[in-house]
Structure formats: C-alpha cells, structure tokens
Amino acid sequence: MDKDEIANNFAVLFRGGKVALDTDGEFRPWTTDSGGFQPADGKDWLSIAYDHLWAGPSVGVYPLVLHDEQFNVYWGCVDWDTGPQESMIHARNVRTALEQLGVTGWVERSRSKGFHLWVFFTDAVPAVAARRGLLAVCDLVDAPTTEVNPKQVELSGRGWGNGVRLPYGHLRQRGGYNEVTNPEATISIVPVTQFVPEAMESRTTPADWEAVTALWRPPERPRRADTGTTPTTGPLEGLAAFIRRLGPEPSPHKPTGDRSIAMWKLACAMTRQGYSRQTMLRELRGADIEWGRKFANRQDCTDQLEQLLDNAYKDVHQQ
C-alpha cells in the first residue's frame, strides 16, 4: 500500500462521529471555517487522516454516529492507565479472551503510562452493543472497566461524548508511544504499514460481535456486608474529603486536570470509608457540577454515576 491507500484505510478503521484536534496538550472538537464541527467520515476525513499520519496535526475521534435514531460506532477501545506493567497485563488478557471468541483486538501503547485495546467492526454496531461486549470481556478476565469506549451509548444534545486519541500521529512522541504493539513478540512495535492492512482484514462483523455482547450481564447493585454499623453519612471526612476539596489534579497533558480520574478516586475513597449509597451519589453529583459537568447535563447522568459506584465497589471489595 502507498501512503494514500494506508491513510484511506486508516480513515475507514477509525471513522466515527466528529473529529477532535489533539494539539498543545488539548483535546477538543475540530471546528470548521463555517462554525460547525468536522465529521470523522467523508472526503475531508480522508485528508485529515492522511495529515494525521504523515504531516500533522494529530487527531482523535468521538465515536458515536447517529443512524436512523440509533447511535452506532465503528470501533471500540478500552484504556488502562494503571502503570505500564499492570496495563499491559490487562490488555494482553483481554486480547487473549477476545481471540478465544473469534475477535481480533489490537494493543496500543498510549502516550502516558498505559495501553489501549482496539476492536474494529466491518459495519456500524449499536453503541450499547459495542460497550456491553467490551465490558463483558473485561469482566471475564478481571480487567478494570473505568475507561471503556464508547463511554456513552447516546448523546443528550450537548457535546459529542468522550473521544479517543488515534495512534500513529506524525507528531507523536517517538519510541513506541501511540503505536500498536504485539504484546507476545520480542520486537513489539507494529508499523502502520503493517497494522492498517491487517486490521482491515481482521475486522469483526456485527453478527460475530453479537456473541460477545451476549456475555454481558447487568451489574448487580452492590450491597455492603452487614458489619453491625450504620453507613457513614453527613459531610465527607479523611481521604474522601481531601479528594473532594482538591478536585482534578493538573498534569502536563491536562492542565485543567482529569475529571474522570478525580471522580474515580472520589468514588473509591468514599466506598472504602463506608459512606451510604445515597451520600456517595450526592457527593459525586456535586463534584461533577463543580468540576465541569461531565455528566450533569446528560439524560443518563444518574446511570453513569451508578455505574461509577458499581465499578468502584468491585475494585475495592472484590480484588
């Protein structure tokens, strides 16, 4: 394949709803000259994908696409940022589990301290099916599910949901960052000229993915074991109070802080300290509003916060 063909097929693999610019430490929607938002599909998307690979700027994609009143995706991605060694173990385990189910997963070393795992579909798959399938496989091998994309299965009309940075950006940090790797090989980096044709050839059909989605089970609402004490209520104390006051911690990549990590830390801290479910939901809602309304303006706000607490409970009590 020449550069044009590589870029065109790369664009097919990573197409989605809208394009995000990944420049100067910011990840934000790409606005067009007319004031609209750049779709991650069509002729312009082919050109953007080419520049991403061979010239810059680097981009990401918001995955949700609306087709006939249903939100669909063309790919799914799980992100682990729990340190290079632990994240690689999770990525390898999920990749192996998918392989057993007849699905090819691609592992990418992210630009921070973790790994991504990608699954590509031959055609549009309902966002809810893509998410549930990935959650189910992660649960099979006890891999964290904090960052399973698509993170939303519908949009409330404001924003585009959560996006993901794409691998192989021309302006990426060199040395294997933001490149697909083979976790079983000694020479692990997979060049884009190899990755693209192999990923295109090994995409999963929507029919095959149904078997993966069928493994999903609704999470049981966790109940704390009866310890003979009353769950903690009232103002937060200790570590939970500290995290609540501190808020998202700035980093070189996110100067305004990472809300997802802060919300996760708060949920885990409150769970460890024994706060009631009602208190934890109230505190998470308040923190979300103060920290930029990640969930507050969405129709599924409560569902997202409930899921966050379910995951925190599993992480704290079932390890």
How far CA 96 is from CA of 93, 107, 137, in Å, comes to: 5, 11, 10
> Which residues pair with residue 67 across a beta bridge?
70
Question: Higher confidence at residue 171 or residue 216?
Answer: 216
* Helix, strand or coil, per DSSP, at residue 165: strand
**Pair 161, 48: CB distance under 8 Å:** no
Nearby residues of 4 by Cβ (< 8 Å), 6 or more positions away: 50
pLDDT tens column, 262-286: 899 999 989 888 888 889 999 999 9
Query: Residue 104, class by beta-carbon neighbours within 10 Å (0-12 exposed, 13-18 middle, 19+ buried)?
Result: middle
Question: Higher confidence at residue 165 or residue 317?
Answer: 165
* Whether the predicted model's global pTM rises above the 0.85 cut: no
CB hemisphere CA count around 158 (13 angstroms)? 9
Q: Which long-range contacts (CB under 8 A, 24 or more apart) does 245-254 make?
A: 247/287, 247/290, 247/291, 248/291, 252/25, 253/25, 253/111, 253/112, 254/25
pLDDT tens column, 282-300: 999 999 988 888 888 888 8
pLDDT of residue 319: 41
Tokens of 136: 């189910």
